[in-house]
Amino acid sequence: MSVLLLNDDDVRTRLDAATAVRAVRGALLAAHEGALHAPPRIHADLGDGRLVFTAGRLCSEELFGFRAYDTLVGAEQLVAVWGSDDGRLRAVVHGDELGARRTGAIGAVAVDAAARPGEIRLGLVGAGTQAWAQLWAIRAVRRVREVAVAARRPERAQAFARRAAGELEVRVRAVRTVEEAVRDHDVVVVATNSDVPVLDADWITPGTHVTTLGPKTVARHEVPASLADRAHVLLTDSLAQATGYAEPHILPTDRLVDLGAVLAKAARGRTDPEQITVFCSVGLAGTDVAVAAALCEEVRRSA
């Protein structure tokens, strides 16, 4: 069995959202059960930047591997997967699509676990790769009735809406203000790189599930600290990573609940349709490896 070398085009055309969501859900459950080794990320200094590695080992799947990315030149990323049964390298996936899509899949698992049941109205704050990947993945867990997208530059929101219509056959409205994207939605995804809050916690309608993907430290945060006062449940995909940053978190980490524990029914998520739930996405290590392995299986099956 030769090594698969896959690029962004392969990810775009061969990875479907349901497969990514299934792989990530498996990894989150494995992490809860102690069957995923996902140590904190490590880095090597290379002068003006770093190489960063996030490694993971999925015992149940007999897989291990890592994702590597840099802060030197913003080079394309690399995910490598080995079988721990035979020690053979199975796949190398390079480019930036896989990372965003696995983050999308993590967000979708959180939506599935914590948003109110039924079809959803989705609000997106930010119109970049991360927002796109969330929409792509959420469609695998919920019927999306309508989508509103707001971006700092309105033309980007419009381009996002056109792309969604073309590629995903989803009707997306570009809206002028963040408030329009936040109010009266079942799920709100905040996917910016903003250092300061882009929304007011009071805009969030009771019953909403909010995902925050961007900065979440005291020094830099895309959501306000007051979000915690309105939220009934704060979830995260990795307690270790969420609490392991050098800078303190803008939300109270002692209230964070592990998404894997909620999936395993060992912890409670939403208990009432009027509650506000917040998912702090940090990117559980090992989920990249799980998604790359699932993609690899898909490609081999169809070969």
CA 236 to chain centre: 10
Identify which range of 22-30, 53-61, 104-112, 269-277 contacts a second copy by CB under 8 A: 53-61
Output the smallest distance, CB 272 to a second copy, in A: 39
CA atoms within 13 A on the CB side of 47: 2
Q: Are 57 and 293 in contact (CB under 8 A)?
A: no
> Of these, 20, 31, 67, 82, which contacts a second copy (CB under 8 A)?
82
30 binding a second copy? (CB under 8 A): no
**Site map (CB under 8 A) of a second copy, residues 89-118, x = contact:** x--x-x------------------------
Identify which range of 23-31, 80-88, 224-232, 234-242 contacts a second copy by CB under 8 A: 80-88
Q: Name the DSSP class of 271.
A: -
Count of other CB atoms within 10 angstroms of residue 289: 32
> Of these, 8, 19, 33, 59, which contacts a second copy (CB under 8 A)?
59
7 binding a second copy? (CB under 8 A): yes
> Of these, 9, 45, 155, 272, which contacts a second copy (CB under 8 A)?
45
Which residues have C-beta within 8 Å of that of residue 216, sequence separation ≥ 6? 222, 223, 249, 250, 251, 280
Residue 83, judged by CB atoms within 10 A of its CB (0-12, 13-18, 19+), counts as: middle
Identify which range of 59-67, 97-105, 179-187, 295-303 contacts a second copy by CB under 8 A: 59-67
Looking at the Cβ atoms of 55 and 182, the one nearer to a second copy is 55
131 binding a second copy? (CB under 8 A): no
Tokens 């809860």: give the residue: 32
The torsion angles phi and psi of 104, rounded to 5 degrees, stand at -60, -45
- Name the nearest CA neighbour of 100 among 71, 76, 119: 76
Judged by the rule CB under 8 A, the positions of this chain that interact with a second copy are 3, 5, 7, 37, 39, 42-47, 51, 53, 55-57, 59, 64, 66, 68, 70, 72-76, 78, 80, 82-85, 87-89, 92, 94
